[in-house]
Structure 1
C-alpha cells in the first residue's frame, strides 16, 4: 500500500536544521534536532493537516520499506523569522513559579486557545521578554528516514482526525 490521503503512516526520521544566514547545506552546518526510531516511530493520519504540507507531499506514494531524504525550506517549514514577533510579559505572571531563565521555553496560549512555545530573550525588573517565533522558524529542515507501516485509516480515526497508533487500537 502506498501513502495517500486517509492512510495511517508510521515512519522513522532524523531531523537536522540549518539556518538561513547563508549557511551551506553540508553536514558541518547541520544541527541535530530529534529522531524517531523503529521502536517508537512517528505515527500519523496522512492528509488531514497534522503535518507540514510539504513534508506530506514528499512522502506521497512511498510504501513500506522505502527510505527517504528531503529538505524543506524555512518557508515550507515553520516560516521565516518575524522580527516583530516579540512580547513583554509582566513579571507578575511568574510570582508563583519564579522567573524563568534566558533561553527557557515557556508554554503559552493565545486568546483563541492555540498553544505554542515562546523563548525567553531577556528579563528586567518589570518584564520577561519573549520571542514568539516557532523555535525552528528561519531554518531549513532536513529529514531522512524509512517508512515502517502504511495502512488504511479506520472510520474511528477518520472521525477523530488522528491516528490511534500503529495498529489502530492504541488509546486516544
Structure 2
C-alpha cells in the first residue's frame, strides 16, 4: 500500500539544520500521523511522501517556503502576555505558543512588558533550509470519520475529548 490522498500516513523523522545538527526527532517514540492530501502536513514533506510505502526511508531538503515558510519582514504583533503559553516568565528571544484562528502557532517573543508583549509571528524556523530524514512507519485507508473530520485519529494523530 502506497501513500496517496485520503490515506493515514505514520512516519518517524529527524530534523536537521543547515550544519547537520539535530533540531528534533521522534525516533524511539510514536510516529506522527496525518491524513494525506488534506493540508495537514508541510507541502515539502507531503509531496516527498507521495507514493512511498512502509519501510521507505528518504532524506529531503525542501525549499523553506514548503516547510516553515519564508520570513515575513515586520511581522511583529502586540498581544496580551496572558495569551503566551510555554513559560511563566518571558524574555526576548524565547519561543512561545499562541492560539490563532488557524490553531496553535509558534512565535518568538521580541519585547515584553508587564501586560503586553511584542511577538514575531514568523515560525522560529522560517526561512531556513532544513533537512528531514523520514521513515514511513504506516500507511492505511482513512476511515469515513477521518475523511469527514479532515485529519487522522489514533496514535500520532488527533484525539477528540
Give the shorter-chain TM-score range: 0.7 to 0.9
> Which runs of 5 or more structure 2 residues have no equivalent in the other structure?
none
1:103 to 72, 93, 102: 93
| Cα pair 1:38 1:148 within 8 Å, conserved | no
> Which runs of 5 or more structure 1 residues have no equivalent in the other structure?
19-28
User: TM-score, normalising length from structure 2?
Assistant: 0.81
Q: Which residue of 1 aligns with 2:75?
A: 85
User: TM-score, normalising length from structure 1?
Assistant: 0.77
Q: Which residue of 1 aligns with 2:149?
A: 160
Across the two proteins, how many residue pairs are aligned to each other? 158
Deviation of 1:114 (Å): 4.1
Deviation of 1:83 (Å): 2.2
Secondary structure at the counterpart of residue 73 of structure 2: coil
Q: Which residue of 1 aligns with 2:5?
A: 5
Structure 1 distance, partners of 2:10, 2:83, is 40
1:39-78 equivalent positions in 2, closer than 5 A = 39-78=29-68
Query: Is residue 120 of structure 1 aligned with residue 142 of structure 2?
Result: no
Taking only aligned residues, the RMSD between alpha carbons, in angstroms, comes to 3.0
| Cα pair 1:102 1:123 within 8 Å, conserved | yes
In terms of Rg, which structure is larger?
1
Closer, same or farther: CA 87–150 of 1 in aligned 2, 3 Å? same
